Amino acid sequence: MPPSKADRPDLPNAASRFNEEKQTYTVRGSEQPDLEAGVAAIRNVLNTLPARPGVYRMLDARGDVLYVGKARALKNRVTNYVQVNRLPKRLQRMVAQTRDMTIVTTNNEAEALLLEAQLIKRYRPAYNVLLRDDKSFPFILLRADHDFPRIQKHRGARRAKGNYYGPFASAGSVNNTLNALQKLFLLRSCTDSFFNNRDRPCLLYQIKRCSAPCVGRIDAAGYAELVSDAKDFLAGKSTSVQEKLGAQMEAAAENLDFEHAAILRDRLKALTFIQGSQAINAEGVGDADIFAMAMKEGATGIQAFFIRGGQNWGHRSFFPRHAGDVPEEEVLQSFLTQFYEEVPPPRTLLLDRILSDGDLLAEALGERAGHKVAISVPQRGSRRKLIDQATRNAVEALDRRLAESTTQAKLLREVADLFELDGPPDRIEVYDNSHIQGTNALGAMVVAGPEGFRKGQYRKFNIKRKETEPGDDYAMMREVFERRFARAQAEDPDRDRGDWPDLVLIDGGRGQLNAVMGVLEEIGIEDVNLVGVAKGPHHGREGREIFHLMDGRELTLPVNSPVLFYLQRLRDEVHRFAIGAHRQKRAKAMGASPLDEVPGIGPARKKALLMHFGTARAVRNASLDDLQRAPGVSKGVAQQVYDFYHAR
């Protein structure tokens, strides 16, 4: 039967243009855990399926998504699943678990491909190829909402008005480029509030990384020329920028303006540094992403190079998760559709192999981007050299990954032996608290597994219960664990979603461990493996840690033990995350004002009140007449502020 309107996923951009003919079907089957029951559930839907494009979801008895697929003709594609003998073992297992199906029809196959990628990202089905890297990519943003545009690093939704350049492979890549751009074009990077309150140049002007438009050291026309040059450079016109700077430097020298000539010389040096720091020669490529794939021992590594304007903006390795019998072509195509779910595609994709659905993928990405996207497999010339370099990097990255996995697997087996676990832990959670004399207190959780740290699953817990005394580490730990595991108990009581830990490490000694054990016992959880990690009798000395077990035993390890180093690394990571989160919270609190609590008071009126009265306390103690006399404050706002503090 048709689901509710809220169940229908929305597609971004052109892919969202489903018309009124779109239909959704949900089919209920038996819940018997066998292959025949799965085939029967699929057969039930075949009579209702149209021969048109769409996306199908296989659901298990609980309603969890097992697999998401797209089809040019839904009826033909779904029919394949009832021909069990022709299916690989992986798909036979999937069919045996299938009890429901949901079908969504689309206008064309390109829309189906985009919808498939979106649903895979949302549901992360067990039988699909999954892109595990969930970090957003950084961009450079040259804002256009100010007379003197600001250049800055940007992540997330692109809502601000301006020009976006990217993606960059990492924060390091974008930071290096930003530093060079500041030297080359002297564009400001400060916030608008900082800009508006300057009466003399800041340090960046002194070290020749800003032209100081805030205090009039450059006029609007001169700054606009710098912005234009920066746009040309980021668009790949570095040669014309270089020629322009060279001509200006020569003219300044001829006019005996040696100080200005020296500034232009330094800017030319910065440009030369950027051009010489490219790890690959991408001249003539324009805007392109380059992908090469390596497969070994059932694992896959994909290397991506990001080229914009003929400049190398970094590279990154990806290791998508999939079953061992998934065809190479399917792995790469599924990876690309999920990758460009978050990243705007360039005009050119260079691949190391031909995709049978390459034309369809190009059409779908073109709809998403709003411009034509070409996919090609270079066979010769400079572009082939780029593919060969990406392939070499993919093989080397996969070899490193496999070597690290082997070492990691051995460490996890030894951890299991040390703490007497049933097997190597797949999910380890580590907890710590951070505060300064009880202020801005929070708890932190980091997660690790066989593949390393899972940073997308890190969590922080703001300590907010009134009964938790400031600075009481035991009470803080109790609050964190009660919130974490009460929610897990409610959302996943059967523990089959992979969110329950096999091992929990607590930064602290016997007291913290006992506090946590008491909390879990109260909410009915007694089978989570808990270990307290204390510094030992000589605080601060690495290698003297004491591991407190739930049965009262205490363990120590040799100072050169690889397992000890691994456990220390886990503890250090939760320290880093907790301290970083605490600093962010403290910095935010330092910039807060009691006036922020007054409804209807924005930044401009808050500034007007503080400028007039001097302090927030003076505003709170002011009479209604005094508030009405404040510049920029209307009678209505004055009454609102007065009532907030006095009508209680």
Question: DSSP character for 285?
Answer: -
Q: Coil, strand, or helix at residue 229?
A: helix
Element (H, E) at 408: helix 381-419
Q: How many CA atoms lie within 13 Å of 601's alpha carbon, on the beta-carbon side? A: 23
* Cα 648 from Cα 644, distance rounded (Å): 8
- The domain spans of the chain are 5-123, 139-236, 288-399, 428-589, 594-646
Question: DSSP character for 321?
Answer: B
Tell me whether domains 288-399 and 428-589 share a fold. yes
Give the pLDDT score at 506: 93
DSSP 443-497: EEEEEEETTEE-GGG-EEEE---TTS-TT-HHHHHHHHHHHHHHHHHHH-TT--S
According to CATH, the topology of domain 428-589 is: Nucleotidyltransferase; domain 5 (3.30.420)
CATH node for 594-646:
1.10.150.20
Specify the pTM.
0.67
Nearest one of 77, 184, 97, 83 to 140, comparing CA atoms: 184
- For residue 59, the tally of other CB atoms under 10 A from its CB is 23
Kindly provide the residue ranges of all beta strands, DSSP E only, lying in 331-390, ordered along the sequence.
348-351, 374-376
| Tens digits of residue pLDDT in 546-557 | 999 998 899 999
* Cα 267 from Cα 270, distance rounded (Å): 5
* CATH 3.40.1440.10 for domain 5-123: yes
Nearest one of 429, 508, 500 to 475, comparing CA atoms: 508
Give me the helices (H) in 524-630, please. 562-590, 603-613, 616-621, 624-629
Question: DSSP character for 390?
Answer: H
Name 338's Cβ contacts closer than 8 Å, sequence gap at least 6.
Answer: 117, 120, 121, 129, 130, 131
Q: Do residues 545 and 565 make contact, with C-beta atoms less than 8 angstroms apart?
A: no
Which residues of the chain are modeled with pLDDT < 50? 1-32, 279, 540
| Cα angle 123, 128, 133; round to 5 | 70
Element (H, E) at 366: helix 358-369
Element (H, E) at 442: strand 439-449
Q: Strands 428-436 and 503-507, how do they pair? A: parallel
| Tens digits of residue pLDDT in 121-137 | 888 898 999 887 656 78
Give the pLDDT score at 33: 52
Q: Do residues 534 and 545 make contact, with C-beta atoms less than 8 angstroms apart?
A: yes
Nearest one of 379, 337, 382, 380 to 357, comparing CA atoms: 337
Q: Which phi and psi (to 5°) does residue 288 adopt?
A: -155, 150
* Cα 16 from Cα 248, distance rounded (Å): 50
Nearest one of 27, 19, 43, 6 to 103, comparing CA atoms: 27
CATH node for 288-399:
3.30.420.340
* Cα 423 from Cα 225, distance rounded (Å): 64
Q: Coil, strand, or helix at residue 23?
A: coil
Name 19's Cβ contacts closer than 8 Å, sequence gap at least 6.
Answer: 107
